[in-house]
Structure 1
């Protein structure tokens, strides 16, 4: 195999065009070789804009290209499973946008396809590749915070466009699927274990039928995580990890800028921010790192950045939160 993985992009989705593809092009082992759309002209325009050599007018044409090693799948959420399986059956490795599936059963289907085809597949939780989260986990494991017992998160934006896919329940819209998944994923990453039970309170938009506001408690063996996510509040994001000795604030946990440094703040005093120690994290693009890490996993036949087993665990938490919100009870994670 070449020293670079030759990538095909499944659709001209905005996240790919504006963020992921340009970032992956900077990767040392990524070659963005082809892009497909169900509209050939749209694919050609996207290819010209990004400087990609090949453009296809159907997804099937892309999957039949023997020069393509791996597929980046940014299709709408409800199409992730179907097309990721088709990619693997066509002999392509897959990096699929989150949420990779909307049911536990569909994650299992992906696992079966992975095992059957021998292809690699990973859910695109790019935050797992960012240097600030690797540093935060290292500090927790080194005992810099003492024994961690609480993780608090908040993630929101304001979007009341009824035509936006994030406001369509049949496409996996709503705050929990779209952004609540991040504090779930990162709290699991920091604790290094799975919650045993969860509870949630949600408020649904009467027109969209998606959760516009959700608050959750995740009960871990070692402590707790709580977070609020919303699609109809002013945009903000924060994560705070608190141990028996110190706290750690992650200033921009989920959309850290690629072209400037970001900061972690180690709190050593109980009240004043002036008593915090700033830990600068050098500028990095988590989309570039994610692409490089996945490409390396293919080239070296090593583990992908986010395994389907990890995705299964995250999906179980999300499903359990919806069940809890509906019943008003704690829900155990099987």
Structure 2
């Protein structure tokens, strides 16, 4: 039974947001880590994300039963009832927000709230079913965890936090479209208007390449404005050039699903390495250019 409740929180998404929160924290901490404070930040963020995932499962029951990869989820098979899942999601969210607000800081809690509202209400309840721009909206929630990690330390939203927000949002686009092409038939069966289904796979590949370039340009600003050292810039661009190569290679792929699976997995590996690299590449003292 514990396993069913665990999977209701989407562990893969939790892990990804755990890593990006860690990245933002590392960038702001500049190598000086307060371990108990880090654990509180990670715990609070993870609980809020888990809550959002539970509510997403509740909202997506009708969609999930039409998709092969989701048709065995606990709410679809009735292994967990909707009222129990709702209470579970509320408890997780309340605990997460309380930890962030009282034990981290209100600004970090604010960005957790923004991510939660965007994911549950603007994405899950609205644009996922009705708009081709759903991925753009969803990318905002996916970009909040690194900002939570960063503002946990700085207690202000400065230029570096803005770079993280934009950069991680741009990363979400090719990442999400990779899985959408790989699972194309699932999305088509559920009538979800994500880009490759609503338009074409070729157009999706073109836009993915554009967003990879935007991601690299944006993340390079961390070096340009003195938040990271040259090692970060070298690693970012070396790995980034390979992602561009994979994007271009996709136009000549004989098997779109095989290419998209590799493309998606590489995006996960890339953001993981990039986020963890902040521990070694952040500059101390970093410049503070506060926005609010």
Q: Same fold (TM over 0.5)?
A: no
Q: Which has the higher helix share?
A: 2
| TM-score (normalizing by structure 2) | 0.31
Structure possessing the higher radius of gyration over alpha carbons? 1
Structure having greater relative contact order (Cα 8 Å, sep ≥ 6): 2
| TM-score (normalizing by structure 1) | 0.28
